[in-house]
Amino acid sequence: MEPATPMEISPRVLPPSDQWSPALAVPAPVCRFENFLGAERAAALLEYAISREDDFTAGTVLDPLTGQVSRKGRDSLVLPVTSRVFSAHLADCLPLVQEVLGHRAPLAQSLTVLTAHGEGGHFGVHTDASRVRDVSTALSAVYYLHRRPRGFGGGQLRLYDTAVVDGRARPGESYREIEPEHDTIAFFPSGAFHEVVPSTCPSGRFPDHRFTLTTWISGAEPAPGPDARRPYVWQWLADAAEGSRPLHDAEEDHDGARPVALPPPGPDTRLGPAVIRRTP
């Protein structure tokens, strides 16, 4: 068959205009790893989380306008933790994550909490501005754990697009949903609006909850002024998140998490841009 000749769409059909006013919907960059810790370590970590049932407390939020700590819009259990091994694994992944997300700022420290969502568990739309030093350069990472077969329903992570209209950014209405699959981790900008949709847990048993290790990764110092090299998407996300930035300069995390320094990536890191480039 002869290939069809392209037809010019006449300007009578599509008249020229100098009045374009594009409304962008920019998806938040996200990077997911499957089998992040591997079956054995993931299973051990899940059993550890379950064994600490009595130590979890109700998760809090920080009101961006008043700086008040409350439980508004959130029903999650939390337990602040640290883990040298988890931090080292994160550090090994970060060069690749930064490349995929178009992230350029240096990263130095992380805060981590274990969380559990059961029947009616949820976390309303928010940014992670209250957890990080500079929301325009920080990363959030959520590592998921659950028993199989899964004892909960729902609980997807919804990552909202940013709408940019006439150069002004605001949270969009469209979103991408991430399934909380066992032994997977999702990295995304802390300035991106996101939520945990309500979960169900028919058995009501703690081992059937939706568990996470949630981490916020920041630079050591607030990033200096506007950075000309910062990709647009990070600037837009930061602009849209501006209203959610807490006013007070908290020294303490509102769920009790403590910052720990990230180690440098290991010398025999398997996960790095160089490894990807060598792949044919």
Ligand X SMILES: O=C(O)CCC(=O)C(=O)O
The site for ligand X (CB under 6 A) is made up of 115, 123, 128, 142, 157, 194, 196, 212, 214
60 binds, among ligand X, Fe ion, none (CB under 5 to 8 A by kind): none
Q: Which stretch binds Fe ion (CB under 5 A): 36-44, 124-132, 216-224, 259-267?
A: 124-132
The answer to whether 78 and 56 have CB atoms below 8 angstroms apart is: yes
Please state the closest distance from residue 31 (CB atom) to Fe ion, in A. Answer: 16
Residue 212: contacted member of Fe ion, ligand X, none (CB under 5 to 8 Å, by partner type): ligand X
Residues with Cβ within 8 Å of 261's Cβ and at least 6 positions away in sequence, in order, are 108, 109
Nearer to ligand X, 162 or 269 (CB): 162
- Complex with ligand X: residue 92 or 253, whichever CB lies closer: 253
The residues pairing with 240 across neighbouring beta strands, listed in sequence order, are none
First-to-last C-alpha distance (Å) of the chain: 35
In angstroms, give the least distance from the CB of 139 to ligand X: 12
Q: Strands 77-80 and 157-165: what pairing?
A: unpaired
- Return the number of the residue (27 or 80) whose C-beta is nearest ligand X: 80
Pair 151, 209: CB distance under 8 Å: yes
Cβ-contact 77, 253 below 8 angstroms? no
Block residue for tokens 């000749």 = 5
Residue 107: which of Fe ion, ligand X, none does it interact with, CB under 5 to 8 A by kind? none
| Position closest to ligand X via CB | 157
Site string for Fe ion, 128-157 (x = CB under 5 A): x-----------------------------
Can you tell me the distance from the alpha carbon of 86 to that of 228, in angstroms, rounded to the nearest whole number? 33
Do 190 and 137 meet the contact criterion of CB atoms below 8 Å apart? no
Q: How many angstroms from the chain centroid is the CA of residue 42?
A: 20
Q: How far is the CB of 156 from ligand X (least distance, A)?
A: 8
Q: Which C-beta is closer to ligand X: that of 30 or that of 196?
A: 196
208 binds Fe ion, rule: CB under 5 A: no
Question: How far is Cα 217 from Cα 257, in angstroms, rounded to an integer?
Answer: 12
Which residues sit at the interface with Fe ion, rule CB under 5 A? 128
